[in-house]
Amino acid sequence: MSIYDFSAKTIEGQEVSLENFKGKVLIIANTASKCGFTPQYADLQKLYEKYKDQGLEILAFPCNQFGEQEPGSNSEVKTFCQINYGVDFQVFEKVDVKGAEAHPLFKYLTVEAPFKGFDKSTPMGKILYNVLSEKYPENLVGDSIKWNFTKFLIDREGKVVKRFEPTSEPFDMEEDIKKLL
């Protein structure tokens, strides 16, 4: 099994097989417009511009499951991403990424790349861990997505290579991306 066995609807509502991205290196991320990590859109766009000609694609999946930080419609999400961050990589319709109603792709991703904890030696790692511990302790259980901007790196064969938690900046993935291109 690989990510090519899944499909999803684009932000415009068109069903797309992830097989369309066969042979590409992918970053798959759950995103939100009103999150402290939302500025990561800017660096995801920069990574995309830097490496798209070498085969990098970014697939963003907006999600409203974490602090209701993606309350807008799909149209509003698309406009927000384009106006504020110049996003021209593929954005999909809003989905759930954890729980019983999670999109099958995210169920697969979290099995293939389980949660290994936050780097609590960094300020953001400590902050996110503390916020989740105090306000959303259920999010810390199991391998599910913990918060917005969890990123998965996928190789050209559709296999999950690595999971990056929200506290990892997009450019923290650059060396791993270059190895796969």
pLDDT tens readout for residues 135-166: 999 999 999 999 999 999 999 999 999 999 99
pLDDT tens readout for residues 86-131: 999 999 999 999 999 999 999 999 999 999 999 898 899 999 999 9
The residues pairing with 16 across neighbouring beta strands, listed in sequence order, are 8
User: Cα separation of 57 and 129, whole Å?
Assistant: 29
From the candidates 3, 8, 18, 35, give the one annotated as an active-site residue. Answer: 35
- The vertex-69 CA angle with 67 and 75, nearest 5°, equals 150
Q: CATH for 3-180? A: 3.40.30.10
Distant-in-sequence, close-in-space partners of 49: CB < 8 Å, separation ≥ 6: none
Q: pTM of the entire structure? A: 0.96
Query: What residues does each domain of the chain span?
Result: 3-180
Q: Do 95 and 103 form a contact (C-beta atoms < 8 A)?
A: yes
In the residue annotation, 35 being an active-site residue is answered as: yes
pLDDT tens readout for residues 8-35: 999 999 999 999 999 999 999 999 999 9
User: Cα separation of 165 and 181, whole Å?
Assistant: 22
User: Cα separation of 32 and 35, whole Å?
Assistant: 6
